[in-house]
Amino acid sequence: MARAVGRPIKRGADLLLNDEEKPAYIRLHDIGRERRPRPLQEFLNDIGGLMLSADAPAVASFVAGKVLQRLLKTGKVRPLEGGPLPGAPDGLDDAIGYLAKSGRKYEAIAGQFKSLADSLLWRRGRSGPFASLNFGNTHSHAVLVGPGGMEERADLRVGVIYMDRYTRFPDHVQTQPRAFILLSPGEICLGNSQWFSAATGTVFANDAGQTFAIRCTARPLLAVWCQVEPETR
């Protein structure tokens, strides 16, 4: 896999961005007028703490730090009491249960995410090069904060990826620098690098214009990612 050089990156090439429904972006001057639900705030706090830890790569912490700074103000929050949304992955509870058993620092994160999962709009991913068979039925992703998310806003995204066991995400090019944290074991390929195995809690980053792929084996995959959105004119 090679880095795209010398040409603009089309948003459609980034398979984590599903904006076909054209969500209603909240205006920047409306940011900060609402109170964020406690489970979402605690989840963002705990994930942010891991992504800014001394063990995290500097580039990933730099991206996450910019996101967390903007998260000091809230966007337009959708009530959690609205009832479950359709489309939550069937194996998500297994992934959350495994996370809860992965160490004391993950128990609270697992509980927080479990309370949020049914309120997320889960989307089936588009397939692409080298994707596993039946990828459309074994992968889902959702936005916690950002366009179309539980907290609607245009200036950043905090998203989550879920994949069933033995699923490979297709190679794709990212439009913005993006930081990730794995909430399950997984295998990762960034740009021209070799595949490498990563444990629960691994933090890493991938640059704009660089290809990215991820896969899992005997455990379903759960990962959180974040990025600052480009300014719109």
| Each residue's pLDDT tens digit, 83-102 | 556 678 989 999 999 999 99
pLDDT given at position 25: 47
DSSP per residue over 142-173, as a string?
EEEESTTSSEE-SSEEEEEEEE-TT-BPPPEE
Region of poorest pLDDT, from 8-22, 91-105, 121-135, 199-213: 8-22
pLDDT given at position 86: 63
pLDDT given at position 18: 63
As a whole number of angstroms, the distance between CA 215 and CA 195 comes to 9
E strands, 178-220, are: 178-182, 186-190, 196-198, 203-206, 211-215
pLDDT digits (tens, 9 = 90+) for 124-153: 877 888 899 889 889 999 999 998 899 999
Instruction: Give, as one character, the DSSP assignment of residue 226.
Output: E
**Mean per-residue pLDDT for 37-55?**
96
pLDDT digits (tens, 9 = 90+) for 211-227: 999 999 999 999 999 99
